[in-house]
Structure 1
Amino acid sequence: MRILSRNDLFAIIERSDSSTFNEKLQFMEHELLNQYTENDHNIPDIKHKLSQIKHQFKQKWSAARNTKARFLDNNVEWLKGCISLPKAGISPGRPQKTFLELSERSKRRKTEELRSLNTDELTFATQMKLRETGKLEASKVVKDLTKSPRRAKKYITALKKNTVTCEDDQEKLNNLTHLRALFMYTEAGLTQAQYEIVRETNPSYYPCYSILQKCKKECYPEIHRVTETCGEVRVQNLMDHTAQRLILYLGDAMEQLSEIDKQSLVLISKWGCDGSQQMQYKMKFENEADSDANIFQSSMVPLQLVYGPGRKILWQNPTPSSPRYCRPIRIRFAKESTDVTNEEIEYIKSQIKELTESEVNGFSIKHKLLFTMVDGKVCNAATNTRSTMKCYICGLSSTQFNDLDKVMPNKEGTLEFGLSLLHARIRFFESILHVAYRLPVKKWRKRLTAEEKQLIENRKKEIQNKFREQLGLLVDIPKANFGNTNDGNTSRRFFENFEVSAEITGIDLNLIYRLKVILDTMCSGFRINVEAFEMYCQKTAELYVNLYEFYPMTPTLHKVLRHGSQVVAEAILPIGHFPKKREAAEARNKHIRMFRLNYTRKFSRVACNVDVLNRLLLTSDPVLTGMRTRKNKNKHPLSADVLNLLLESDIANVSFEENDQ
């Protein structure tokens, strides 16, 4: 017998590069079996023993929660134990071959006695043996073939026909469909030259680029006008085309609707405008006063397609904050300002007022556009709020935010803007940081002495160093060329680790946790219990004022805590569907920069703008975007406190986590 310690076996397991423990156990078994020949008569016994050993290792590895150090500590004595395996060696004499490995002559000799039996006996024996070995389907086929003399011929005919059909299907699979090829071309961000290089590898599989060009034209609505400084699609044309492509994408689901439902369809969308900086190109403008240093764009995102009196959902945007569904309305080379913003808002609203139903293949689709893709600048411009330290909803200034008894009537139409959740998350995070910096002096804008300024600066550096050491976060550090490191991902990490954040900043743990609950509730995508949410926000505001009265709430903190429930009550869809503006429209600003650089003709500014507009329309086409496979991201379960702020009808099947707060 061959004696091996379990430590030796674990050493073999550790040599494996596999990612899972099961694969490492298979590696160990393979290594041990390689020490025996294929014809070794001990192989069945060895496999049986190795199966038991693998089971023991798997149990103890699971008990150690898949951790090597814990596994070694818990099984020190067990690993010292030994197992015995038969020594390598084959039975004496000539090596025995399996029946299938024998020659035709040897097979006839071995089956000579069996063939002397009656045909019916052999058939029945074959049928029973197949059933005994678990091959039930094969047993049924043998039984069926012997029922009549013609049955075998029918089987052969059907088999040949099926083989031909499979070959035809395989030939079809060998050619990429035109729409699928266009999806690959768009998703991979290819240029014409790059696609041609890919196609050279298999010309019969990839359709030629001229076919893709025809498919691309179907993704473009009628463009209203393109100049050196502007590219525009009329809202009516864009909505008609979006409705048409959605109906094409939904296909059979649309045909199953009744005639009444086909006439009651409503497409709910959100729209907004935003500005950004752009790279300047050397091409001359006809008007020397024009510049391409800044761009201002308006865009829309389809959210839901509903039908019937109860507004049943036929289609819902799976990623309402993604730029993939963000479709351009107008792009202008202009710097964002109050006048430009108001002009754009009035221009788009005038088109929305004249918007009519879309008639597509017997379907009648009404349109409802919600002005929610906005940020603070756009809201202030639209409401004529000149100071960024004022609330555009009620008009209170920052010095009045902490006076919870002071209530002002809301300005008309301000609740329709929704809330920018990404902005809210970042501003909440920055509010806590700024309060933490001033804890040593407990002053806001009062005149600070040189000593107090130094205390604040030292406190800031201390907090920055702790965040970097404990959470690996860069906090309040300027970035080259623009902004700082306080982005959405940093703020998410801050609130996910609220206990560590409270310890570092010195801010009340309960306050940070309550702000986290409010953000998670708004971002959940579920309908919110307005009364419970309003009460929770009110108590959070009272807690903030009681603890940090010296530092007034920021405008964003005030809007969420004081007006958040009112905005939620006004929204016709869950608040999480609307306001993640940065993740859609602002991401499109980056796309415009990239498309201008890589996918446009540079000999003419007009041609360049045409190519940018077409690429934006192509990459946001509902049919192509719907073909994309969504990656399942592991979302954190909602806490019990978040679930208490949602409507009961929406949380029946929602996973949640226990929390002691």
Structure 2
Amino acid sequence: MSSEDQDMSKNVIISRKTLVEVFFKSKYKSFDSKFKEIIDFVASQTNCPTQSRTDLTLQLRNFKRQFNTKWLLHGKHRERLFANEKTWLDGSCKFTRFVVINSGRPTSNFSDSSENSKRRKTSSLRAEMDADFLTYAAQMKLRSSGRTTEAQVIKKMSVCPKYAKDCFDISTEIKVKKISPREALSLLIEAQLSRKQYEIIRNYAKDIFPSYKLVQAEKALCYPKDVQVTETEAVVPLQSLLDHTATRLIHSQKSVLLTQSISSSDKIVLHTKWGFDGSSSHTQYKQKFISETADDKYMFLSSLVPLRLSYEKNDSTVVLWQNPKPSSSRFCRPISLQYRKETDELVKAKKQDIDQQVENLSPTKIKVNENVYEVVHKAIFTMVDGKLCNALSDTKSTLKCYLCNATSKEFNNLNTVLQKPVKNDFISFGLSVLHCWIRLFEFFCTFLINYPFRSGV
């Protein structure tokens, strides 16, 4: 004690009953933990410094032995102890009051001390006690303080050194999984990142993201072959587009093909839907086209969407892949993109051209490992709107039904409508909305108001 001098000047008298009351008020369960509360109480009454706690414990040793004997004698029963040991409880214990004279810088708590101070304060303890003794003492001290998790960790480390190495080996580095170029491409598209933005992100995590060149190479694999581009049109043959789509789907479902045990003789069917539509009022730029009739104000798009990849087995359809969002633009694959205005002549010509390509489609043969699979294509023309339906069925008026040519005046006369011939070639377009009478909702409201509801129905 270089900075503190202790002067034992006065004594502190504390009754045994007070000490016992402190024992019973403790929140701990074990006897030693409860008795520690008595030591802390006496230390606060006598101003005992941390360095002299050992001397204080020795002064309480006789009281501890007597109290433990009487406590066990009465079956650890508080009321029985107070009733039968009144004479002993009325007695008192004498303790020395410590007077601390500060001369210099005050000492700090052990937890607030620096690393060098902690080593200096524990040097004598480490020199006198071996490692097993200190480890067990730390374990029991943590357990008595309610910190059971830390106590269990110290116990496991002392029993199994391999456990300590696995937990605290600083040489063990965390392995970060690097994403594939395909996953990086998906991230780049979903987040709509530019090349510069992606490279900035990659500079902070090169061990996670692949280089942009690998992402570009993966992006090139997403393009079909035989793409023809002019100044007013970009077209890909339907056969090439479907071959590319089928190949990508088959390779993405490679694990499913292996688990399903599909043989090379089983024909896989790729169901797709296709259609076209026009748009206008696009931004016109001053850059001139070679053709004087070309105009970038209008655009006409033909596209298809894959719906399902399946095959027949034991008179049942087994689905290998199902489009989760068949109406999403993310799955839309362009067939052609033209700077042309949507007209009846253009619609009919494009319909005839794609129909011809659909009739001439041939199966796609795809090799996966040692197996060769054959994919048959089934394309359905269903992506249409009312304007296209009228153009393809030669219906001049938008108030006429493209299926039966009924006019708005004839819709209320059911007998006249039922006698009209139906164009079966256009039934695949769906029912014309003109047949849904404009006052149909009013009819349902009137029907429900006048319907005799019954209780419990």
Matching residue within 120, 131, 136 for 1:122: 136
Is the Cα–Cα contact under 8 Å of residues 127 and 139 in structure 1 kept in the other structure? no
> Could you say which residue in structure 2 is the equivalent of 1:367?
377
Is the Cα–Cα contact under 8 Å of residues 127 and 140 in structure 1 kept in the other structure? no
Is the Cα–Cα contact under 8 Å of residues 277 and 384 in structure 2 kept in the other structure? yes
> Could you say which residue in structure 1 is the equivalent of 2:13?
none
Is the Cα–Cα contact under 8 Å of residues 221 and 238 in structure 1 kept in the other structure? yes
Q: TM-score, normalized by length of structure 1?
A: 0.43
What 5-or-longer segments of structure 1 have no aligned partner? 1-92, 436-506, 513-538, 547-660
Q: Does 1:315 align with 2:327?
A: no
Q: Looking at CA atoms only, which structure, 1 or 2, has the larger radius of gyration?
A: 2
5 Å-filtered alignment, 1:402-413, equals 402-405=412-415, 406-407=417-418, 408-413=420-425
Q: How many residues align?
A: 335
> Could you say which residue in structure 1 is the equivalent of 2:388?
378
Partners of 1:366 and 1:127 lie apart in 2 by 75
Q: How far off is 1:243 after superposition?
A: 1.9
Q: Does 1:139 align with 2:152?
A: yes
Which structure has more helix as a fraction of its residues? Answer: 1
> Could you say which residue in structure 2 is the equivalent of 1:291?
295
Matching residue within 212, 234, 244 for 2:237: 234
5 Å-filtered alignment, 1:254-653, equals 254-260=257-263, 263-277=266-280, 278-309=282-313, 310-360=316-366, 361=368, 362-405=372-415, 406-407=417-418, 408-418=420-430, 508=442, 510-511=444-445
Residue-by-residue CA offset, 1:68-111 (whole Å, 9 max, x unaligned): xxxxxxxxxxxxxxxxxxxxxxxxx9999876546245457789
The alignment partner of 1:395 has SS state of: coil
Say if 1:382 and 1:130 are closer, same or farther in 2 by CA, change over 3 A: farther
Say if 1:340 and 1:155 are closer, same or farther in 2 by CA, change over 3 A: same
Whichever residue aligns with residue 414 of structure 1, its letter is F
The alignment partner of 2:225 has SS state of: coil
Q: How far off is 1:134 after superposition?
A: 5.4
Q: How far off is 1:299 after superposition?
A: 0.2
Partners of 2:120 and 2:138 lie apart in 1 by 25
Partners of 1:297 and 1:195 lie apart in 2 by 30
Residue-by-residue CA offset, 1:308-340 (whole Å, 9 max, x unaligned): 432233322222211111110012222211121
Whichever residue aligns with residue 286 of structure 2, its letter is K
Partners of 2:111 and 2:374 lie apart in 1 by 68
Matching residue within 176, 181, 190 for 1:178: 181
Relative to structure 2, which stretch is displaced further, 124-133 or 310-319?
Answer: 124-133
Partners of 2:431 and 2:154 lie apart in 1 by 67
Partners of 2:131 and 2:203 lie apart in 1 by 62
Q: How far off is 1:430 after superposition?
A: 12
Poorly superposed stretches of 4+, deviation over 6 Å = 93-99, 108-113, 200-205, 427-430
Say if 1:190 and 1:269 are closer, same or farther in 2 by CA, change over 3 A: same
Partners of 2:407 and 2:203 lie apart in 1 by 65
Which structure has more strand as a fraction of its residues? Answer: 2
Q: How far off is 1:352 after superposition?
A: 1.2
Q: How far off is 1:300 after superposition?
A: 0.6
Q: Greater relative contact order: 1 or 2 (C-alpha under 8 angstroms, separation 6 or more)?
A: 1
User: Could you tell me the percent identity over the aligned residues?
Assistant: 33
> Could you say which residue in structure 1 is the equivalent of 2:217?
214
Whichever residue aligns with residue 386 of structure 1, its letter is K
Q: How far off is 1:374 after superposition?
A: 0.5
Partners of 1:389 and 1:187 lie apart in 2 by 42
Is the Cα–Cα contact under 8 Å of residues 185 and 195 in structure 1 kept in the other structure? yes
Say if 1:292 and 1:128 are closer, same or farther in 2 by CA, change over 3 A: closer
Say if 1:400 and 1:159 are closer, same or farther in 2 by CA, change over 3 A: same
Whichever residue aligns with residue 382 of structure 1, its letter is L
Say if 1:141 and 1:366 are closer, same or farther in 2 by CA, change over 3 A: farther
Is the Cα–Cα contact under 8 Å of residues 223 and 234 in structure 1 kept in the other structure? yes
What 5-or-longer segments of structure 2 have no aligned partner? 1-99, 451-456
Q: How far off is 1:273 after superposition?
A: 0.7
The alignment partner of 1:414 has SS state of: helix
Partners of 1:390 and 1:163 lie apart in 2 by 79
Residue-by-residue CA offset, 1:572-616 (whole Å, 9 max, x unaligned): xxxxxxxxxxxxxxxxxxxxxxxxxxxxxxxxxxxxxxxxxxxxx
Relative to structure 2, which stretch is displaced further, 99-108 or 233-242?
Answer: 99-108
Whichever residue aligns with residue 341 of structure 1, its letter is V
Q: How far off is 1:272 after superposition?
A: 0.4
Partners of 2:135 and 2:222 lie apart in 1 by 68
Q: How far off is 1:199 after superposition?
A: 5.8
The alignment partner of 2:275 has SS state of: strand
The alignment partner of 2:296 has SS state of: coil
Whichever residue aligns with residue 149 of structure 2, its letter is K
Is the Cα–Cα contact under 8 Å of residues 127 and 142 in structure 1 kept in the other structure? no
The alignment partner of 2:289 has SS state of: coil
